[in-house]
Structure 1
Amino acid sequence: MASSEVTGGTVGSPGADGAARPGSVRLDHVTHRYGRGAEAVTAVGPVDLTVPAGEFLVLVGASGCGKSTLLRLIAGFEQPTHGSVRVSGTPPRPGTAAGVVFQQPRLFPWRTVRGNLDLALRYAGTDRSLWPQRRAELLERVGLEGTDARRTWELSGGQQQRVAIARALAAENPLLLLDEPFAALDALARERLQEDVRRVTAETGRTTVFVTHSADEAVFLASRIVVLTKRPGTVALDLPVPLPRGDGDAQELRNSADFTALRARISDCVKAAAS
């Protein structure tokens, strides 16, 4: 990842080849508006952003700055009003461009954990004979071994979100998108899931774009942070995160002076960008 830092702009593009690698994301002069005529509201833009394959990018900013809009554009759920979005070098197709995890788990409550994952595996085109093996691998990856026969309503909020993450991983897309997936959880469950997502994405090597309004969460998860201004959202800060990303102690990292300093800097930038 580039080591340069940009305030009020974006870090340089890695080039056409890098932007077309599986899991890479590129936004060129993207603007998105809702409504028409005098009622039109510009949610984001213009935004130029390149996310190299394998990067963990966190979009952070105050509520209403366009973070979720950008995520929907990358997922292909919406089309930009101006500019272009490319995932792995081509326009994103909803349902195939990325695995997506929302703020709410959005599981099927009438299905078991097994049923929810099997449905995802079917849509992913996985051979039915491999479902038991893949299901077991996915549940182990998110720390839910032995829960496949349980109904989703029997699970805690944190466990339900783990199932949602496992479901998003089922398709083996090289890109994972998460839209404030831990916002409704208590502090302890949130920290545990942050650690799980950090570990899982490192193990799979997937490109990850994560939306949050929390500076603490952004610094803990990201290999790179982009802070957005108030609406219409543009890039206020594009910053590589120089913290270790190995298997070190999570609490030790959170208590480190470097973490504390970076969290304060991001928090200050978010407040300034929202003013």
Structure 2
Amino acid sequence: MDGAAEEAGAGTAEGVTGGAAKGADAARAGSVRLDHVVHRYGRGGEAVTAVGPVDLSVPAGEFLVLVGASGCGKSTLLRLIAGFEQPTHGSVRVSGAAPRPGEAAGVVFQAPRLFPWRTVRGNIDLALRYAGVERGQWPRRRAELLARVGLEGTERRRTWEISGGQQQRVAIARALAAERPLFLLDEPFAALDALTRERLQEDVRRVTAQTGRTTVFVTHSADEAVFLGSRIVVLTRSPGTVALDLPIPLPRGDVDADELRNSGEFAELRAQVAHAVRAAAAA
């Protein structure tokens, strides 16, 4: 084989190998891929494009934060990834397949959406039942989940007997019950006071590091985005498209939260994201 043929053959082999590697990565448990996604609400002349086109790949284990001004399509993208809605154009894949509601991911909404007539224990047990966990394993799994979100000793309390922050912790524990490889959170701390919000941010950061789950988190706060994310995507105003795709090189191991928030690098990244959000909203 001459040199040109060898080079062509090597290029072909590399292309095949590279394509296979990309395909394997896209199919990894918890990975997310959006290809040319557009989503519209309504029909005909009254149709409104909420997002798109959006191309986005989220590797397994990444903590991606979607940030942008109100109405830019952040929550729409999250619902598409969860399988609650289908894109008008393009495709969404989770772990290599089209997402199915209730199976693709554990989801936490802005409101806890707990069953008020049930105790904390009852809410967790219901999630374990729907997750297909054997009943004999419920006490151990329940104790693990409550410990993970810092709610030991609350299982016999009614949901209306605990604070808003504790209710959201129960919602997080319930979403973790199914052990899905993907964790979706839609502005879960927006209605909480600043101190509770910071504590829960620290909890989510810790829990996702412990579990290694791929996480997609929606917020409008640059501060929250930089603290939580290993990567931030800023969306333009509606229809939302990607204005900035920014890796966050902050430590994600055992780190003091206050020290991190007060660091110069954190301040620089927060300013960069805040500027990008303002510019994207005004464009």
* Cα separation, 2, equivalents of 1:142 and 1:109: 19
For 2:142, give the aligned amino acid: R
Q: Does 1:228 align with 2:242?
A: no
- TM-score (normalizing by structure 2): 0.92
How far is 1:132 from its partner? 0.3
For 1:262, give the aligned amino acid: L
* Cα separation, 2, equivalents of 1:97 and 1:142: 22
Q: Does 1:30 align with 2:37?
A: yes
2:14 corresponds in structure 1 to: none
* Cα separation, 1, equivalents of 2:119 and 2:59: 36
1:48 corresponds in structure 2 to: 55
Match of 1:176 among 183, 186, 192: 183
1:193 corresponds in structure 2 to: 200
How far is 1:97 from its partner? 0.3
How far is 1:38 from its partner? 0.9
Match of 1:84 among 82, 91, 95: 91
Secondary structure (helix, strand or coil) at the match of 2:153 reads: coil
How far is 1:30 from its partner? 0.2
- TM-score (normalizing by structure 1): 0.95
Match of 1:116 among 119, 123, 140: 123
1:75 corresponds in structure 2 to: 82
Question: How many residues are treated as equivalent by the alignment?
Answer: 262
- Which structure ranks higher in relative contact order (CA pairs < 8 Å, sequence separation ≥ 6)? 1
* Cα separation, 2, equivalents of 1:219 and 1:20: 28
Secondary structure (helix, strand or coil) at the match of 2:37 reads: strand
How far is 1:241 from its partner? 0.2
* Cα separation, 1, equivalents of 2:137 and 2:24: 34
* Cα separation, 1, equivalents of 2:274 and 2:22: 31
Deviations 1:96-136 (A, max 9, x none): 10000000000000000000000000000000000000000
Q: CA RMSD in A?
A: 0.6
How far is 1:247 from its partner? 1.0
* Cα separation, 1, equivalents of 2:157 and 2:58: 37
How far is 1:221 from its partner? 0.1
Match of 1:204 among 202, 211, 224: 211
1:157 corresponds in structure 2 to: 164
Deviations 1:228-261 (A, max 9, x none): 0000000000010001111111000000000000
1:3 corresponds in structure 2 to: none
Q: Does 1:98 align with 2:105?
A: yes
Q: Does 1:260 align with 2:240?
A: no
1:218 corresponds in structure 2 to: 225
Match of 1:59 among 53, 63, 66: 66
How far is 1:204 from its partner? 0.2
Percent identical residues = 83
Moved over 2 A (4+): none
1:4 corresponds in structure 2 to: none
How far is 1:17 from its partner? 1.2
For 1:119, give the aligned amino acid: L
